[in-house]
Amino acid sequence: MFRLPVSDVLTSYPGYTKTVSFSWDVYRGYYEDFDFTSPLKAEISLRNENSKKITVTILFLETRIRYQEKETNILLENISRTYRVDADGDGIVDLAPFIHESILETFIKAWQKSS
């Protein structure tokens, strides 16, 4: 679900940046430890670092999740990760682990503040 084609960014010049916006209804059970209770809306920047590396930045991500019977809003901004991508391969970046970790970290911090 969170797999983005990046071949066009990889084959462009170093420093080239592309921004992608989307809104997804994420199905129940996509991540086993929490569920989405509202659509995931995001704006993501893809930057060509060289012919094999892409930096992905979550410029904005907003959703609502339920984790262990507790529900909260999630807002992420300006979080980056660099991926090594083979331009001769499928040219796909799977953002699922990045999104999962970022949402869970934000949720845990919010939960700790409220306790």
How does pLDDT run across 42-83, given as a tens digit for each residue? 999 999 998 788 999 999 999 999 988 888 899 999 999 998
Q: What is the mean pLDDT of residues 82-90?
A: 73
In angstroms, rounded to a whole number, what is the distance separating the alpha carbons of residues 66 and 64?
7
Alpha-carbon span 17 to 44, nearest angstrom: 10
Q: Report the distance separating Cα 115 and Cα 111, nearest Å.
A: 6
Q: Which residues contact 84 (CB under 8 A, 6 or more apart)?
A: 52, 53
| Global pTM value | 0.85
Q: Does the pLDDT at position 86 exceed 80? A: no
What values do phi and psi take at 65, rounded to 5? -130, 160
Average pLDDT over residues 96-109: 89
Is residue 40 within 8 Å of residue 63, measured between CB atoms?
yes
- pLDDT score at 51: 75
